[in-house]
């Protein structure tokens, strides 16, 4: 496991506000255990809950028979990565690349034994063995009882802010500002709902962690 912290090349004011103020966005790969930390310059944040029902239309009934299936929770997050100097721009671009890697699965080798013109031929290939699950922590808004919230990331997007320009080093370009956004789909750990006494059954009562 490796931790990729917020760029040490940021000014002390940003580093202090991020580390002590708790405004640090942390994303963990459940495959490798690697953790990426970003200063949380949030541009958007929203949560949604979708209650899923299976509806069956019955002749003679005005309304369908609905059977509850489950409730899904998803979080949409957008933030900017500003770079006041080239060193920070390099660190931020590396962090974007590592985050993109978190969306790819884990493989194992598979050996197939086949026959070709009477001879044994061994063919090796990779097969997907582990899904790219992730965990996210951001203050009390994204957490599981103060710890990382388990789930999976979909729809990761990042784009350089072209109006802000970029640093140039040889034939390489390092954007001064990168805008990122992704959707995080929560995997509920434990039961969520109400017991026979109509009391909330989870030890974590509030989704916002207070």
For residue 207, is it left (φ>0), alpha (ψ between -120 and 50) or beta? alpha
Which DSSP string do the residues of 119-187 spell out, in sequence order? EEEEEEEEEEEE---EEEEETTTB-BTTBPEEEEEEEEEEEE-GGG-EEEETTEEEESEEEEEEEEEE-
What pLDDT is recorded for position 22? Answer: 57
pLDDT at 9: 60
Ranges of the chain whose pLDDT falls below 50: 21, 115
The Cβ of residue 184 has, within 10 Å, a number of other Cβ atoms equal to 24
Domain-embedded: residue 196: no
Nearest to 90 by CA among 210, 183, 173, 200: 173
Task: Look at the chain and report how many structural domains it folds into.
Answer: 1
What pLDDT, on a 0 to 100 scale, did the predictor assign at position 18? 56
85 within a domain of the structure (yes/no):
yes
Q: What is the pLDDT of residue 12?
A: 54
Residue 69: CATH number of its domain: 2.40.30.200
Expressed as residue numbers, the domain containing 146 is 3-105+131-186
Residue 168 resides in a domain: yes
Residue 32 lies in a domain: yes
pTM of the model: 0.82
Of 81, 82, 88, 86, the residue nearest 168 (C-alpha): 86
Q: Is residue 207 part of a domain?
A: no
Whether residue 192 is contained in a domain is answered as no
Asked, for residue 49, whether it belongs to a domain, the answer is yes
pLDDT for the residue 152 = 97
How many Å apart are CA 24 and CA 36, to the nearest integer? 10
113/122 Cα distance (integer angstroms): 5
* Within-domain flag for 95: yes
Cβ atoms within 10 Å, residue 202: 16
At 23 the pLDDT is: 75
* pLDDT tens profile 67-100: 999 999 999 999 999 999 999 999 999 999 999 9
Question: What's residue 111's pLDDT?
Answer: 66
């Amino acid at each position: 496991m490796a931790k990729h912290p917020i760029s040490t090349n940021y000014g002390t004011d940003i580093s202090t506000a991020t580390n002590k103020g708790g405004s640090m966005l942390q994303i963990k790969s459940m495959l490798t255990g690697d953790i990426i930390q970003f200063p949380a310059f949030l541009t958007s944040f929203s949560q949604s809950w979708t209650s899923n029902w299976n509806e069956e239309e019955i002749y003679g009934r005005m309304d369908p028979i609905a059977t509850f299936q489950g409730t899904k929770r998803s979080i949409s997050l957008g933030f900017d990565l500003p770079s006041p100097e080239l060193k920070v721009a390099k660190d931020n671009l590396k962090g974007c690349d590592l985050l993109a890697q978190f969306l790819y699965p884990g493989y194992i080798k598979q050996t197939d034994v086949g026959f070709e013109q009477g001879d044994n031929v061994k063919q090796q290939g990779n097969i997907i063995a582990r899904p790219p699950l992730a965990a996210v922590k951001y203050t009390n808004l994204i957490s599981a009882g103060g710890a990382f919230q388990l789930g999976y990331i979909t729809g990761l997007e990042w784009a350089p802010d072209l109006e802000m320009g970029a640093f140039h080093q040889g034939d390489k370009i390092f954007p001064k500002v990168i805008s990122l956004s992704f959707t995080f789909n929560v995997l509920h750990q434990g039961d969520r709902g109400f017991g026979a006494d109509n009391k909330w059954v989870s030890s974590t009562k509030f989704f916002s962690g207070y």
